[in-house]
Amino acid sequence: MTFTRRLIAVLLMSAALSTPAVASNDLPRIETRAGGRHALIVDGAPFLMLGAQANNSSNHASVLPQVWQTIGELHANTLEMPVAWGQIEPSEGKFDFSFVDALLAQAREHKVRLVLLWFGTWKNGGPGYTPEWVKTDLKRFPRKRDEQGRPLAALSPFARTTLDVDRTAFVALIRHLRAEDAQNTVIMVQVENEAGAFGIPRDRTPAADKLFNGSVPKDLAAAVKRPGGSWREAFGPLADQAFMSWYTARYIEEVAAAGKAVKPLPMYANAALSDPLAKVVDPKWVSSGSPDWNMIETWKVAAPHLDFVAPDIYSSDWSRVRAYLQAYARPDNALMIPEMGNAADYARFFWAALGSGAIGYAPFSMDATGYVNYPLGAKALDAETVDAFASKFAFMAPMARGWAALASEHEGWGVAKGKAAADEARDFGEWRLTAQFDRWLIGDESWTFVKADPTPSTGKPTGGAAVLQTGPDTFLIVGSDIRIRFARNAPGKADRWQYLSVDEGRLDEQGNWISGRPWNGDQTDYGVNLPSKPAMLRVRLGRMDEFH
C-alpha cells in the first residue's frame, strides 16, 4: 500500500469509528409474526406501549415537569411528544436540538420511552409548525390552491422545494438521535402530523392539476384492483381523496426513507379520520390526503418505508371505534393508536385495542398544563379522569412485555360496551364467547328481580375486555366491568362443557402465566365477571361430549 492509500484507509476507519454504530438488532422494530400479528420490539423483546400524548404546545422545557407529573400518575411507559420543525431549524441550515436533548435526558431519568412527532410540513394539514423562513417564502414553498385558484394556508405536497427542506430537517433530527440516543430512548417517530386537509378535496396548483390529468400509477391501480386510466375512472367519487393520499404519502415516503437511511427506527403516519360507517364519505368531513381508513391500501403502496399508518380516534361510539380498530389491524399494518380522546368514556377502548392486537395506545392531551381538550376529550383532567386510564395502565404495566409477546402469537378479541350495552359474541373455533355488560357480579337473566335494580355501571360508558386464545381450549381474559360467558360453538352442544379451571393471575415478562388464586362457585357460575378493578383470568374449558 502506498502512503497515500494507507492514509486514506486510516481516515476512513476513524470516520467509521466516530459514527456511533447502531447495531440493527438492538433497534426498536416491528416484527410481523404468524397469523399476521405484530410485535413492537424494544431492547430485543416485545413491548406494549402504554402511552400518552402531551398537548401540542407542551414541547417546551419549561413545562416538562407538568408533563412528567401526568405521565407518572398514568403509569405510562411512553410519552409522545412533538418536535417542531420551526423549533429545531429556526434559520435555514442552523439547527438547535436543545429541547430534544432536555427531553431525552428527562425521559431517561423518568424511565419513560419516547415517540417523537415530527411537526414538519403538516400539522393537522396546516403549516403552523414550520419555521418562519418557510412560512414567509410563498414562492419557494407554495401553498395548496382551491378550485378558484386561491392559495390556502396548507403547503402543497407537489413542491419539491418544500419536500427537500423538510427532508433535510428531518434527517438532521434523526442524525441527532443516532448520535445522542444510542440507548434508543426514542422508540418510534411519527412523520408529520395528520397530513391532509379538511375542506380541500384536491390541490389545484398547476403541478397538481397536471398530475391529476395524467393516469393513476400502475402499481397503485394493481394494488387497489381498479382499472388504470384517469383518477376519476379508477376511483370515481373518491378520485380527489385517492389522488391527494397518493401524493401526500409519496412525499412522506421520501422524508421517512431518508430518515430511515440514517437510523431505521419504526416510523408511521397518523390519520385524521372520517366516519367509518358512512355509506358515502362526505368530502366536507374528510382530511383529503390523510391515511384515512378508506385510503390505507393507497398509503401502503405509496409509502413502503412507513411501518404502519395509524388512526387518531376521537369518537367515543363503540361501533365506530370497532370499525377503526378492524380497519387498521391488518397483516400488513400493525395497529397503533397514537391519539385517542382522553375523556373517561374512551378508557374502556384500551381493552378493545389490546384485544385487537394493538402494539401501543395513547390518550391525547395528557399533561398538567391545564389545557383541556373538550369536546374532543375530557372537560377537566381531574383525578377521576386520569384514574380511568391509570387504573388500566397500572394493572398492565408490570406485564406489558408479557402481554405484547402473547398478543403477537395468539388470536385475540377486543370488545367494549356500546350504546345499548348489547351482548357481543365472538367464535374461537369450537368456542363461543359472549361479552355482557351492566350485570351484577352474580345472577343471570332468569333472576327477573335483579333486572329492576341497575348495577353501578348501568348507563356509564365503562366496560371492556381483551381476550387471547392461548390454547385450543384456553383463554386469557383481561378487562373491567364486563362479564364473559362461554358456550360450545357446535350445533346442539352449546352447554356440553365445563370449566377445568379459572385462575386469577398475571403474566411474567415472557408471557408465562403466573397463577394467583383459583375462581370458582359464585365467581364463575354466571360467566366470569371482571369487576371495576381490572383483573386477569386464565380460563381452561373442557368438552363433555361423552354424555351424548
Complex with ligand DGJ: residue 126 or 217, whichever CB lies closer: 126
Q: Scan for cell 379538511, then name that residue.
A: 198
Residue 290 makes contact with ligand DGJ by CB under 6 A: no
Which position among 27, 172, 372, 376 is part of the footprint of ligand DGJ (CB under 6 A)?
Answer: 376
Complex with ligand DGJ: residue 239 or 340, whichever CB lies closer: 340
Name the helix (H) or strand (E) containing 476: strand 474-480
Q: Scan for cell 409509502, then name that residue.
A: 303
Residue 292 makes contact with ligand DGJ by CB under 6 A: no
Site for ligand DGJ in 303-332 (CB under 6 A): 312
Say if residues 299 and 272 touch (Cβ distance below 8 Å): no
- Min dist CB 339 to ligand DGJ, Å, is 6
Strand order in the sheet with 513-518: 412-416, 464-471, 474-480, 535-543, 497-507, 513-518
Complex with ligand DGJ: residue 224 or 376, whichever CB lies closer: 376
Site for ligand DGJ in 349-368 (CB under 6 A): 364
Other beta carbons within 10 angstroms of residue 280's beta carbon come to 7
- Min dist CB 56 to ligand DGJ, Å, is 5
Say if residues 298 and 245 touch (Cβ distance below 8 Å): yes
Residue 274 makes contact with ligand DGJ by CB under 6 A: no
DSSP string, 131-194: -HHHHT-TTTSPEEE-TT--EEEEEPTT-HHHHHHHHHHHHHHHHHHHHH-TT--EEEEEEEES
Complex with ligand DGJ: residue 328 or 364, whichever CB lies closer: 364
Residue 70 makes contact with ligand DGJ by CB under 6 A: no
Number of residues counted as binding ligand DGJ (CB under 6 A): 9
Complex with ligand DGJ: residue 120 or 412, whichever CB lies closer: 120
Cβ contacts of 381 within 8 Å, gap of 6 or more: 70, 342, 365, 366, 368, 372
- Min dist CB 124 to ligand DGJ, Å, is 5
CA proximity to 352, closest of 428, 437, 411, 415: 415
Residue 373 makes contact with ligand DGJ by CB under 6 A: yes
Complex with ligand DGJ: residue 335 or 465, whichever CB lies closer: 335
Complex with ligand DGJ: residue 53 or 356, whichever CB lies closer: 53
Which position among 192, 240, 339, 481 is part of the footprint of ligand DGJ (CB under 6 A)?
Answer: 339
- Min dist CB 418 to ligand DGJ, Å, is 24
- Min dist CB 282 to ligand DGJ, Å, is 19
What region does 125 belong to: left with phi over 0, alpha with psi -120 to 50, or beta?
left
Name the helix (H) or strand (E) containing 9: helix 3-18
- Min dist CB 342 to ligand DGJ, Å, is 10
- Min dist CB 117 to ligand DGJ, Å, is 8
Calpha distance 424→422 (Å, rounded): 6
Residue 287 makes contact with ligand DGJ by CB under 6 A: no
Site for ligand DGJ in 96-125 (CB under 6 A): 124
- Min dist CB 134 to ligand DGJ, Å, is 19
- Min dist CB 335 to ligand DGJ, Å, is 17
Complex with ligand DGJ: residue 205 or 365, whichever CB lies closer: 365
3-state SS assignment for residue 428: strand
Complex with ligand DGJ: residue 316 or 373, whichever CB lies closer: 373
CA 354 to chain centre: 11
Site for ligand DGJ in 177-206 (CB under 6 A): 193-194
Complex with ligand DGJ: residue 171 or 376, whichever CB lies closer: 376
Site for ligand DGJ in 29-68 (CB under 6 A): 56
Tell me the one-letter amino acid at 445. E
What the block records as the C-alpha cell of 485 is 360467558
Q: Scan for cell 415517540, then name that residue.
A: 115
Residue 424 makes contact with ligand DGJ by CB under 6 A: no
Q: Scan for cell 365477571, then name that residue.
A: 529
Say if residues 306 and 267 touch (Cβ distance below 8 Å): yes
Say if residues 297 and 225 touch (Cβ distance below 8 Å): no
- Min dist CB 115 to ligand DGJ, Å, is 13
Taking CB positions, which residue lies at the least distance from ligand DGJ?
194
Complex with ligand DGJ: residue 125 or 157, whichever CB lies closer: 125
Residue 80 makes contact with ligand DGJ by CB under 6 A: no
Cβ contacts of 62 within 8 Å, gap of 6 or more: none
Which stretches of the chain bind ligand DGJ, using CB under 6 A? 56, 124, 193-194, 312, 339, 364, 373, 376
